[in-house]
């Protein structure tokens, strides 16, 4: 990994430490996105969709993910 992924290119950001996926369009203080980026334990998804994150075992963050997407 030579360069970190950038927010502009990825909406869904996974935290490998707890398998939570965050919506970087609507981050909250509770998400600690800055801390996640600093830890470099994040992952991005291709395609960049919540469904893809879920397929990989990530659970939507309850702070930033739209309620309708958390079925
Ligand atoms: Zn979140």
State the Cα torsion 62-64-69-71 to the nearest 10°: 0
54 SS3 class: helix
- pLDDT (mean) for 28-48: 95
Query: Is 71 inside a domain boundary?
Result: no
Query: Is 2 inside a domain boundary?
Result: no
Distance 34 CA to ligand 1 centre (A): 11
Query: Is 29 inside a domain boundary?
Result: yes
Distance 33 CA to ligand 1 centre (A): 8
Domain count, the chain: 1
Distance 67 CA to ligand 1 centre (A): 12
Edge-first strand listing for the sheet containing 12-15: 42-43, 12-15, 20-23, 59-60
Distance 16 CA to ligand 1 centre (A): 13
Percent of the chain surpassing pLDDT 90? 75
**pLDDT exceeds 80 at position 39:** yes
Distance 3 CA to ligand 1 centre (A): 23
Cβ–Cβ < 8 Å for 43, 4: no
Q: Which domain holds residue 55?
A: 7-65
Query: Is 42 inside a domain boundary?
Result: yes
- pLDDT (mean) for 6-15: 81
């Amino acid at each position: 990994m030579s360069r970190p992924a950038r927010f502009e290119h990825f909406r869904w950001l996974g935290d490998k430490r707890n398998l939570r996926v965050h919506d970087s369009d609507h981050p909250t203080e509770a998400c600690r996105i800055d801390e996640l980026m600093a830890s470099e334990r994040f992952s991005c998804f291709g395609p960049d969709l919540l469904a893809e994150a879920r397929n990989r075992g990530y659970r939507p963050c309850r702070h930033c993910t739209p309620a309708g997407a958390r079925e």
